[in-house]
Structure 1
Amino acid sequence: MNVINDFYCQEVLSGKTEVQIVKETENVLAYYHTKPFYPIHIVAIPKKHISSLITLDDTDHDLLLELMLVIKEVAQKVTEDHDSCKVITNLGNNQESKHLHWHVVSGKALG
């Protein structure tokens, strides 16, 4: 499969870029962002390539549930430790890497 602009498949899941893992399941990986935009910046991704939230197939429901459970756990921990967090996903032109991913962030944006 020729995947264009997919940092997560090409770098993270391939092992080319090392990451600090926060939570990992059979199908989901959550880790600290390699170039954070917030003081606390965690990314959660499915290990299967899915290009976007809006391209999910009906066959991906179990994977989406597993991903959301990981996001919930990570968001709960960040909220406990830092009083609040945001859970964000980008779509369309705002989605730089064409692999479904969610950001769990806390604090004021850096820079």
Structure 2
Amino acid sequence: MSEDFYCEEVLSGRTAVQKVMETEHVLAYHHTRPFYPVHIVTIPKKHIPSLVTLEDQDNNLLLEMMDMVKKVASQVVSEHGACRVITNLGKYQDSKHLHFHIVYGEPLNKK
């Protein structure tokens, strides 16, 4: 996987995605290779490597992003009764771009 799939593929338009919600600064879309029956990714359109690299000037962007995560999670809970909101850090983070996964169900059998 590339160092930053979200900038290099999604935000550049090279990889088409099914959008769930979008603002000027934040995008939520269905994961291109889902690991769960419902798997939505929310990303900032600005490159931020991870949650722990956020800077003070990113506070408004983070609030906007969390508002979208909340809205998407609310939709998933309304439709399915539950969801998880996940972010990964360090070696668990495949793409070095801040993102949150909103997922429902048990992990799909990936082989």
Regarding TM over 0.5, the answer is: yes
* 1:17 to partner: Cα distance: 0.1
Scaled by the length of structure 2, what TM-score is found?
A: 0.96
Residue number in structure 2 paired with 1:58: 56
Choose which of 56, 68, 71 in structure 1 pairs with 2:69.
71
Identity %: 63
State the secondary structure of the residue aligned to 1:61: helix
Q: TM-score, normalised by structure 1?
A: 0.96
Query: Which runs of no fewer than 5 residues in structure 1 stay unpaired?
Result: none
CA RMSD of aligned residues (A): 0.6
Residue 37 in 1 paired to residue 35 in 2?
Answer: yes
- Structure 2 residue 81 is matched with structure 1 residue 83: yes
Structure 1's consecutive aligned runs of 4 or more residues displaced over 3 angstroms after TM superposition are none
Cα drift, residue 49 of structure 1:
0.1
Aligned to 1:23: 21
Give aligned pairs, total. 108
Report the Cα offset of residue 74 of structure 1. 0.0
CA distances 1:72-109 after superposition (whole Å, capped 9, x unpaired): 00000000000000000000000000000000000110
